């Protein structure tokens, strides 16, 4: 099976976010996080693909900081979210662009807007006769 990008098993997600595996499965049950299953020998592995895990962290970062595990989030979870989620939105943080998609998005953002400027020049009404 060919996959591009990384995968995050339930164990890895729980380790990175400092939560229990049942909480990760609960998020899947609540449709917050899409987990896929794959049979490997006699074991079924549940995992989230890289893009899905990133989407989940971005969409739920306030929930992950303020609500999971009580009022005080573990320092490791906050650090992970800062590096993985929040720093990616800061253009001067080069560590955030270590991920391929982040580098591509940054490159697109930094491209000259020549195409947009051409569109603005041609804002005259278009007559269809």
Dump pLDDT digits (tens) for 52-89.
998 999 898 888 888 776 666 778 888 888 887 776 66
Position 110 scores a pLDDT of 67
Position 26 scores a pLDDT of 95
Q: Give the pTM.
A: 0.59
Position 27 scores a pLDDT of 95
CA distance 77 to 19: 9
Position 2 scores a pLDDT of 38
Position 93 scores a pLDDT of 47
Domains of the chain, by residue range, sit at 7-111
In angstroms, the Cα distances linking 91 to 17, 65, 102, 121 are 25, 23, 10, 29
CA distance 17 to 19: 6
Length of the chain: 129
Flag residues of the chain having pLDDT under 70.
1-5, 69-72, 87-103, 106-107, 109-129
Position 35 scores a pLDDT of 95
Position 85 scores a pLDDT of 76
Tokens representing 105 are 């998005």
């Amino acid at each position: 099976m060919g996959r591009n990008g990384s995968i995050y098993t339930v164990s890895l997600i729980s380790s990175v976010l400092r939560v229990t595996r049942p909480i990760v499965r609960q998020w899947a049950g609540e449709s917050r996080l899409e987990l896929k299953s794959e049979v490997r020998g006699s074991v079924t592995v549940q995992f989230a693909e890289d893009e899905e895990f990133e989407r989940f962290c971005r969409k739920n970062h306030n929930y992950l900081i303020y609500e999971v595990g009580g009022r005080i989030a573990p320092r490791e979870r906050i650090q992970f979210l800062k590096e993985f989620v929040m720093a990616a939105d800061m253009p001067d943080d080069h560590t955030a662009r270590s991920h391929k998609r982040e580098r591509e998005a940054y490159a697109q953002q930094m491209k000259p807007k020549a195409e947009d400027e051409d569109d603005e020049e041609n804002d005259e009404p278009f007559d269809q006769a």
